[in-house]
């Protein structure tokens, strides 16, 4: 039993390692998604100028930047398999659930590494109040977790459709709206110097949403992937 379990993780890890190696060979996605996020950030910052933002607007802008940055790159992991015609080989070598988990983990890591760069720049460029870190960081962590989890399955869906780029955001937006609502609300609380207990319900929503969407995705992925 223990052997099978480690084998399961090992296989998902193998898919993840393959994708990481491919990514570092070209660094295509990380560059594209980072430049896209920077463009959105500077566009927002330029258009606002030196105004001091109300906390509601500052929090909403942060999540809009994160959402569109995620939409610019998170589908690529499946689109690449279709474009380079490697999907069929992957189908032969690995079980759907391992493929999904490997790619989900890649997306999660991609979004987190993006945020390590973008979020500090957000505070530099936009004139928003200092957040309470004990609220801001958990909200950001769980919100990105939910965002990456929901968009991985949709990335798999749109990789098999035409008009991929536009479709990805269109399909993801209604599904991640609960994440946006709670993420924005939690971030507002952290700017307004609320206590940790106030944002507990937002964190609960983000966590339970992630669990539900991840379970649903693991169950549904097989139907998207098989041909």
Interface contacts to another protein, rule CB under 8 A: 153-154, 157-158, 160-163, 167, 170-171, 173-175, 177-178, 181-182, 185, 201, 205, 208-209, 212-213, 216-217, 220, 223-224
CB of 1 or CB of 163, closer to another protein: 163
CB of 119 or CB of 179, closer to another protein: 179
Q: How far is the CB of 49 from another protein (least distance, A)?
A: 27
Q: How far is the CB of 24 from another protein (least distance, A)?
A: 31
Q: How far is the CB of 30 from another protein (least distance, A)?
A: 27
Q: How far is the CB of 122 from another protein (least distance, A)?
A: 22
CB of 92 or CB of 163, closer to another protein: 163
Q: How far is the CB of 9 from another protein (least distance, A)?
A: 25
CB of 38 or CB of 212, closer to another protein: 212
CB of 129 or CB of 178, closer to another protein: 178
Which helix or strand (DSSP H or E) is residue 226 part of?
none
Question: Tokens standing for 55?
Answer: 């906390």
Q: What region, left, alpha or beta, does residue 195 occupy, with left being phi > 0 and alpha being psi -120 to 50 degrees?
A: beta
- Long-range pairs, 217-224, Cβ under 8 A, ≥24: 217/100, 217/104, 217/149, 217/150, 217/152, 217/153, 218/97, 218/100, 218/101, 220/153, 221/96, 221/97, 221/99, 221/100, 221/153, 221/156, 222/96, 222/97, 224/153, 224/156, 224/157, 224/160
* Residue 88 burial by Cβ neighbours in a 10 Å radius (0-12, 13-18, 19+): exposed
- Through-space distance between the first and last CA atoms of the chain, rounded to whole angstroms: 31
Q: How far is the CB of 23 from another protein (least distance, A)?
A: 26
CB of 195 or CB of 208, closer to another protein: 208
């Amino acid at each position: 039993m223990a052997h099978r379990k480690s084998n399961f993780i090992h296989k998902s890890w193998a898919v993840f390692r393959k994708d990481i190696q491919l990514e570092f060979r070209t660094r295509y996605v990380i560059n594209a998604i980072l430049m896209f996020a920077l463009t959105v950030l500077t566009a927002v910052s330029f258009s606002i100028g030196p105004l001091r933002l109300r906390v509601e607007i500052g929090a909403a802008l942060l999540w809009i930047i994160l959402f569109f940055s995620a939409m610019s790159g998170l589908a690529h992991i499946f689109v690449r398999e279709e474009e380079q015609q490697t999907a069929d080989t992957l189908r032969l070598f690995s079980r759907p659930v391992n493929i999904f988990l490997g790619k989900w983990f890649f997306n999660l890591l991609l979004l987190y590494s993006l945020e390590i760069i973008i979020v500090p720049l957000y505070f530099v460029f936009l004139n928003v109040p200092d957040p309470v870190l004990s609220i801001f960081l958990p909200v950001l962590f769980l919100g990105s977790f939910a965002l990456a989890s929901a968009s991985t399955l949709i990335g798999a869906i749109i990789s098999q459709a035409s008009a991929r780029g536009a479709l990805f955001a269109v399909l993801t937006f209604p599904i991640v709206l609960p994440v946006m609502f709670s993420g924005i609300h939690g971030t507002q609380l952290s700017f307004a110097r609320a206590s940790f207990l106030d944002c507990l319900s937002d964190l609960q929503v983000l966590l339970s949403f992630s669990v539900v969407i991840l379970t649903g995705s693991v169950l549904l992925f097989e139907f998207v992937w098989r041909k």
